[in-house]
Amino acid sequence: MGLCTSKPSPNSGFPSPKSDPNLTGNSPIPTHGNSVPPPKDGVSSVTGDDEVVSTEQAKDVQNGKKSPFFSFYSPSPAHYLFSKKSPARSPANAGSISSTPKRFFKRPFPPPSPAKHIKAVLRRRHGSVKPNEAAIPEGSEAEGVTGLDKSFGFSKHFGSKYEMGEEVGRGHFGYTCAAKFKKGELKGQQVAVKVIPKSKMTTAIAIEDVRREVKILKALNGHRNLVQFYDAHEDHDNVYIVMELCEGGELLDRILSRGGKYSEDDAKKVMTQILNVVAFCHLQGVVHRDLKPENFLFTSKDEDSELKAIDFGLSDFVKPDERLNDIVGSAYYVAPEVLHRAYSTEADVWSVGVIAYILLCGSRPFWARTESGIFRTVLKADPGFDEEPWPSLSTEGKDFVKRLLIKDPRKRMSAAQALCHPWLKNESDVKVPLDILIFKLMKIYLRSSSLRKAALRALSKTLTVDELHFMKEQYALLEPNKNGTISLENIKVALMKSATDAMKDSHVLDVLASFNALQYRRMDFEEFCAATVNVHQLEVLDRWEQHARCAYELFEKEGNRAIVIDELASELGLGPAVPVHAVLHDWIRHTDGKLSFLGFVKLLHGTLIALAVIQTNCSDVSTIML
C-alpha cells in the first residue's frame, strides 16, 4: 500500500502480484520466453478445477457489486491500500483482455499440499462469508457484525490537527489522501493519511491487523529507509494513519521507466537501502512478510532520492526461536517455507532475492499462469541464470542473488550477511547492523558438547578473508574491551543500544538468558568465530568439501582422540534407552577408535537425529540435539 502521489498506469505491462499473475507476450518485463495468450472477452484464461472470476465479473466490481478480489494470502484490512495495481485504482484493468482479476482457487495444490489450508485461513481472516457469496458490508450493513470491539484507543481529534487534501490512492479496504498539518511546528507540512473504514473490519483478525500495523510503525519509527509514522487517529467511522508523504513513486515504476531493469551499480544502491531496513526490522523481531517493488517508495522524483519501506499491514512480531505458520504474502515473492507453514525472518530475505533478480535482469525468477502454478514453481524450480543478461553480469552479482534464493532457509544469507557480501561490501552507504542470527548461533554453541565446540573451532580456522568479514563486523559491534574479548555485558549493551519498543513484543532480549555462561568468563574473537560459523551456509559453497577436509585435519591434530561408543554417547548426552551402537557405529574409526570424517561432519551440523525403531527393538523414539 504505497503512500505516493503518482497515478496508476493503466497500460503497465508488469502486473502486481495483487493482480492476476498471468502475463502477456507484450509485457515490458520478459518472463524467460513464456508468452500467455490473452483470454477471450468474458472468459477466463485458466481452465480445470480452479474457480475463477471472469472479466465480466470484474466489471461488476467497478459497479459496487460483490468483490471477487481474494488472493491466496490473508490480507489485513489495509493491505490493498494505495497499490497502483489494486482493482479500485485500475478501472481500465476490468475490461482489459490482457489482465484478469484475482482468483480464489478451490484447490491451489493437489493434496497433500503445503497450501491446502489457504481456504480455511481466508475464512478465518475475513469471517465466515465465502469470497464469491457476498460483498463486505458497507455502512449500516456492518451493524450486523456484532460483538467486535472497534475502539482502538487512538486520538479522536484528527479534524482539528489535519486538513485533508485530494485523494491520491484507493484500495480494496480504504483509501489514502494528501493532507497538511493545521498547527504546531509542522504547520503546512504535507503528509499522507491512510483512511481505513471500520465497516471493512468484519473479523477480530482484521481489527488486530490494523492495531498491530500501527504498533509496528510506531515502534520502528526513525530508520532512514522506513516510512515515517506521525500519528494514528480514529472516529466512529474510520481509522486514520498519518505518515510521511513519498512523492517519488514506487520502485516498480522506476524499474519500468528504465526499460525493465537496472544496471549493476544502480541495483547495488537500491539493494543496500532495502537490506538496511530489512536487517533493522529483523533485529527488532519484526518480519515484514510482503516485500516487493510496490512496497518501496522514493521520497522524491530525484534519481538519488532515498527509498522507504511501506505497508506493514501483514507484518508481525516473531521471537528468535519462533516459527510462524500463517500463509501471507504475494505470489511471486513468497518464500518456499511460507507455503510449508514454518518460517521466520528468512522469508523476507527470499523476497529481497526476488527483487534483486528482477532489478538485474528484468524477469521474474518464478513464473506460471496461475497462482497455484507459481507456488509449485517456487517450491520445485530453480531460478535461471543462463539467459541474457546473466552471462554478462559479474560473478559476485550472480552469487549474491543465488545465495538469497536458496530454498533451505538455514542455508540462505541473512539481511545483515547480505550487506557484507563481496558484491555490496564496498558500497559507501553500507552500514552493517547487529544480526540476530549471531545470537541464535551463539546460543546453540554454548549449549553444545565440548567435542562439537572443538570441531567448530577447527572449521572456523579454515575460513577465508571474505567469510570472516561478516564476523569481524559483528564482533566490532559488540565493542570488545582492551584485551579484545567480550562478555555477557557487551552483548547486553550492544542489544540495548539497538533496541526499540518492538523488541518487547518480539521478546528478542530473552535470548540474553542463554548467555549466562559468559557471565563469569570472556570470549575472544577466535572462539566467537567458532560460535558463529554457520555450517549450513558453508555447505552451499563450492569449496565446502575443502573446508570440511581441512577442518578435519586440524581436528585430528588438536581435538580428535580415541573414544569408545559409550563414552561418545555420554559426551552427546544420549540416554540409556538409545541404541547407541546402532546410531554411532559409523562415527568412529574401527582402526584407532577416533572420530571418523563422517562423524566429524555430522558433529559439525549439530543435526537433529531421529532414532527410529526400524533398526532396533526399542519402542522409544528420541530426538537429540548435538
Q: ∠ at Cα 228 (226, 229), nearest 5°?
A: 125
- How far apart are the C-alpha atoms of 244 and 591, rounded to whole Å? 70
Residue 421 and residue 349 in contact, taking contact as beta carbons nearer than 8 Å: no
Give whole-number Cα distances, 31 to 92, 260, 362, 459, in Å: 23, 11, 8, 41
Which stretches of 29-161 are DSSP H helices?
A: 55-62, 118-126, 158-161
Residue 126 and residue 203 in contact, taking contact as beta carbons nearer than 8 Å: yes
- Residue tagged active-site, from 231, 253, 290, 505: 290
Residue 436 and residue 345 in contact, taking contact as beta carbons nearer than 8 Å: yes
Instruction: Name the grid cell of 5.
Output: 502521489
Instruction: Enumerate the β-bridge partners of residue 164.
Output: 179
- Tell me if the bond preceding 112 is cis, omega within 30° of 0: yes
**326 noted as active-site residue:** no
Instruction: Name the grid cell of 520.
Output: 563469569
Quick one: CA torsion of 495, 497, 502, 503, rounded to 10 degrees?
Answer: 20
- How far apart are the C-alpha atoms of 253 and 85, rounded to whole Å? 11
> What percent of the chain is helix, strand and coil (3-state, nearest 5)?
40, 10, 50
Residues 6 or more apart whose CB falls under 8 angstroms from that of 605 comprise 535, 536
| 3-class DSSP assignment, residue 385 | coil
- Tell me phi and psi for residue 145, to 5 degrees: -85, 105
At what angle are helices 544-558 and 597-605 packed, to 10 degrees?
Answer: 110
161 belongs to an annotated ligand binding site: no
Closest CA to 417 of 346, 361, 347: 346
* Binding-site sequence positions: 194
Return binding residues for ATP.
Answer: 194
| Positions marked active-site | 290
